[in-house]
Every structure is written in C-alpha cells, then in structure tokens.
Homo-oligomer: A and B are copies of this chain.
Amino acid sequence: MTDYRPPLRDIRFALSHLVDLPGLQASGSFPNADPDLVFGALDEAGRFITEQIAPLCRTADKTGAKHSPDGTVTTPPGYRQAYKRFVEAGWPAISFPEEWGGGGMPFVVGLALAEMVTSADMSFSLCPMLTYAAVELLVLHGTEEQKATWLPRLVSGEWTGTMLLTESQAGSDVGALTAKAVPAGDGTYRITGTKIFVTWGEHDLTGNIVHAALARTPGAPPGTKGISLFLVPKHLVNPDGSVGERNDLVCVSIEEKVGIHASPTCVLSFGDDAGAVGYLIGEECQGLKYMFVMMNRARLHVGMQGLAVAEKAYQLALAYARERKQGTAFGAPKGTSSPIADHADVRRMLLLMRSQIEAMRGVMYQTAEYGDLAHCHPDPAKRREAADRIAILTPVCKQWGTDLGVELASLGIQVHGGMGYVEETGAPQCWRDARIAPIYEGTNGIQAADLVARKLTIGGGAAAQSLLAEMSGVAAELRGEAALAPIGEALAKAVATLQEAGTHVLGRLAASPNDALAAATPFTQMFGIVAGGWVHGRSALAARREDPEGREAFLQAKIGTARFYAAHVLPKVAGLLGEVTAGAETVFAVPVEALGG
C-alpha cells in the first residue's frame, strides 16, 4: 500500500488562485492569513500528518474502536499518541481566534488542513471535526463564563466536543426528539434521555468530552420550536478549572458499521441516576437555530470528506495504474507490456477522479472563503452576498461532494482490478469510509430539499442568479482565449442548462411543491457539476495567465484537467435535465402497496 502524500501543490494552487488570502488578511479578522505563513503552516502540517496520522489508518480500520461493558471506549493502537502530538503541535487550533488560543487563520485554511487529516485517516479526523463545531457554538452563543471555562481547552483540542441530535425516533425529523432538560434551580439543568449516532461520543484520547445536546425544557412547545441546546460535559469542571466528578451519562454501546471503524459511533444514555448536569447555551427554545448555524460549517466539512477520501483513493489508484502492466496500450510498440494508466479506459477513470477532485477542492475552498467573508468583509453588502453564497453552496458541497466521494472511491477500486477488492490495498477502506458522508449531518436528500426549498428562494432567486451570472462571466472570459474556448463553450452550455433547470424548479415550487422536491436531488447534483466547471474555468484562466507559453507541466496539467472536465463531466448536466423536469407524477406512479411486486 502506498502512503498518502498531501497534495500541497494543488492545495496551494487553489488557495492562491481561487481564494484571496491577502484580502482576508487585510480585513483584520485573520491576522495570520498571510500566504507565506499559511503555506508554511500547511507544509509543516502535511509533514506531521504524513508521519504521525497516515500510518495508523489501515491498522485502525482493522482493530476498530472497542466498547467495554463498563462504558469505556478504547481507540486503536497509536491514536492516543498521535492525538496528543496533534494537540501539542497546535493543529486543532489553527483557524480559531487568537483570543482563545487559536492560530488566527481563516476557516478556509482550517478546511485545507482538515482535508489532509481526513485523507490520512477519516476516522481520526472526525474527532477534531466535531470539536470545531462545539467551539463554533460557544464562540457565537456562549456566555463569557462558558467561554472562559470551555473554549481554551476545546480550541487547543485538550478536550473534544460532540453534537447530540439524533434519537431513535428522531433522525431527519429532529423535531421529534424527546430528551428532557429540567431546571435544577441553580441555573443548571438535569438532562435525561438517550442519544444515538454520536460520533466520538466516548473515547480515551482526552481527559474530558464536551457534548452539545438538544433537549426539551418543561412546557416547551412541541416540534422544532421547543428545543433547547445544552452543554453537557462528560466530567464536571471544578471552580479551579480542574476536571471534576463524572457527569451522569454513559456510553451504552457503539455501532458495528461498514466503515470508519476507528471512529466510535455511540449510544449515550443521560441521567440514569439523578440526571446529567447541563448548561443552557443561549436562550431556551432557540437550540435548533443555533445548531443550524453550526451545521452549515459542519456540512461543508462533511462535503470535504468526499473530496479528501477521493484524493486518497486517487493516489492509491494512480500509483497502482503506473506500476501495474497489462497488455499493450494503443500506440505502444507491439509486444511491450504497458502500464494500465496508458490504456484509454483506465486513463479516463483516473481523469474522472482527478478532475472531479479538483472541482470539489475548488468549490469547497471557495465556499469556505465565502464563510470567512461573511464574517469579515468590511462592506455589509459583500458580507450579505457571501452569506447568501455559502447558504446556497453548502448543501451543494455536502450532497454533490459526498456522493462523488463514494463514486470516485469506487472508481479507485475499479482501477485496481481484482486487487481493488482486497482490503490490503486500502482501496476498499476509502470506499467504505466515504459511504457515511452522504448520510450523516443531514442526509443528501435533506441537503437537496434545503437547496431547492430554502436556498434557491433567497431574494426570490436573486442570490442564485447572481452566482450563475458570475459563472457565465467566467465562461465568457474563457471563450475570449482561443486555447480555452472549448472549456468556455461547455461551461456556458452547462450554465444555461442549470439556469433552465433552476427556473423550472422555482416555478414548480410555487405551483406544485412536490414536483420541486422530486427534482431536488438531480438538481443539486447538476448545480455541483456546473460549479465544478466554474472553478475549473477559473483555474485554467489562472494557469494560462501564470504560464502563457505553456512551459510548466503542473500548470498545463491544470488546463488539461479542466479540458477533460469540460468534455467528459459537464455534458452530464444535459442528462440530468430530464430527471429535474420529470415531476412528481411519475415518482408516485406506483402506489406504495404495489411497490413490492
């Protein structure tokens, strides 16, 4: 098995040409967004990840996390030490505010770092990822006291965080949750109930775990409007800041899953004795609103998992395809044995992987930058625009990115032929690990419904329109450069199809909402593919600007990859238009009783 090598050059290219780091630094919100500082940090992080995290991945998958009847969870060999070093090196804190001990870099840089950690070992990466979400919540909604107590040790990673939403009867329908929170009279609450699917809900990496849990207070209205958010630590904290007594919650079991074996997915039971001590975050009955704010960032993070696992799968497939020789490729001298990468169909698979990975990286980094700009841009109109863009692109990144992650990891297996089915190569693990991402943090169906019903309608469709106009502008610019014109043609055509689809969906949303909901998934996919064409177009323009005479292989490969994407991937949107416009009538053409044959 080939080790993971962080694609630092590709990451640097995206951060240099699709993202404006100097602009983020100039805003004053990210004192350390200077490109030299950022690239130095990412180089160093890449080294750390290669040496300390990537080597654990296969063994961790085989061993898995282990649950004991006493409620403890043991992580695979090497995880404790690697996590300790990860914290010591300061990597969890890189994109948090300096005031809480963070690195003062923008979110987009944190995402790039997280991409590398995820490629190296997705199970491991989930632990810091969930912590980011808890930090985000506290920064936005915590009291000063809460911030002082929890933030420094969450930012540093000394303690980890989780999100507790799901209960057995309340998955996509969060409003159905029944966990209770009763005021204890001293300002704290007592939490009872059972939460399932809690990622890294219990483990042995740190001295404490801080759960962000949704629960209902007495007399709260039913449904989503009666949900409050609580901070419920595994251990209480003494007034002097030291770790105190165990809170009343226990990990009852962990799931036996098809992938991310080393990431414990826990069933947590609260309040089997007197009730677990919980601290209200913000106001009562506002919990879901807070959670949604945080979920946007978490959803982009999950979208990135599609990218990260696909990158790892691509590296494995490429290494295999360069080494493995079978048959004589077209054009190779008769009787020679060619690397399978030289056969048209294998090369096509490799380019499908590479070009869609770069599309994902571009769109996701761009979306993360919008996240940063929405906070830091000096012009309120620009902040608004960035907020709208992140609102639109987040469900796209999550759905399109995670579906692609599975698809590309599967292609990676295929490139390996028979060896791809053997666990030893690592290719199946990529595919198994990637499969969770379309499910959690809001299923991809929920993402698509979100895009269609809540995001496309922002400003009566104006926000999406402005994004499409920007894409059309890039297409026009490409068409002005002879060498890039075919990319521009394909992009213009794809944007026009997306425009047609969007107009159709918006129209149906008003006239017959179920038509729009039936169209949501293919529409969101289409949006992702076109957005990928947009960033490929911008990359090609940048590469052309940097290297007008075509001398640098790396930059020319950016143009070649964009040309492949334009010729082989963008045309797929034409095939999705039929599904988008088909409507709900055919979806419900067979009554549910007759579906069983």
Contacts and interface: CB of A to CB of B under 8 A. Distances in A.
A196 B422 CA distance: 12
Interface in A36-78: none
A346 interface: yes
A422 B257 contact: yes
Contacts of A554: 594, 597
A97 interface: no
Interface residues of A, number: 103
Interface string A164-188: 0010000111001000000000000
A520 B518 CA distance: 32
Interface string A574-585: 111111001110
A572 interface: yes
Contacts of A568: 578-579, 582, 586-587
B592 A322 contact: yes
A37 B292 CA distance: 61
A436 B406 CA distance: 16
Contact of A578 (B440, B567, B589): B567
B513 A595 contact: no
A239 interface: no
Contacts of A259: 421
Contacts of A343: 445, 517
A563 B586 CA distance: 6
Interface in A541-584: 553-554, 556-557, 560-561, 563-564, 566-568, 570-579, 582-584
A518 to B, nearest CB: 4
Contacts of A444: 414
Interface in A413-449: 413-414, 417-418, 420-424, 428, 431-432, 435-436, 438-440, 443-445, 448-449
B445 A346 contact: yes
A95 to B, nearest CB: 23
A16 interface: no
A10 B597 contact: yes
A417 B518 contact: no
Contact of A354 (B166, B339, B595): B595
B421 A258 contact: yes
B176 A326 contact: yes
Contacts of A576: 572, 575
A557 B595 contact: yes
Contact of A330 (B513, B577, B592): B513
The count of identical subunits is 2
Contacts of A566: 586
A521 interface: yes
B344 A587 contact: yes
B255 A422 contact: yes
Interface in A80-128: none
Contacts of A575: 571-576
A115 to B, nearest CB: 13
A337 interface: yes
Contacts of A331: 514
Contact of A421 (B435, B582, B584): B435
A219 to B, nearest CB: 19
Contacts of A272: none
Contacts of A557: 590-591, 594-595, 597
Given A344-B514, A578-B567, A560 B573 contact: no
A193 B354 CA distance: 38
Contacts of A7: 597
A223 B466 CA distance: 60
A418 B586 contact: no
A345 interface: yes
B341 A553 contact: no
A547 B123 CA distance: 54
A454 interface: no
Nearest to A427: B258
Contacts of A567: 578-579, 582-583, 586
A347 interface: yes
A214 to B, nearest CB: 16
A438 B414 contact: yes
Nearest to A257: B421
A437 to B, nearest CB: 10
13 contacts: A171-B417, A255-B421, A330-B517, A343-B517, A344-B520, A345-B448, A418-B440, A554-B597, A557-B591, A557-B594, A563-B589, A568-B586, A571-B579
Given A418-B439, A553-B591, 12 more contacts: A256-B424, A315-B596, A345-B445, A351-B586, A413-B435, A413-B439, A420-B439, A561-B589, A564-B590, A567-B586, A568-B578, A572-B578
Top 7 closest pairs, chain A to chain B, by CB: A575-B575, A571-B578, A560-B589, A258-B428, A567-B582, A560-B590, A557-B594
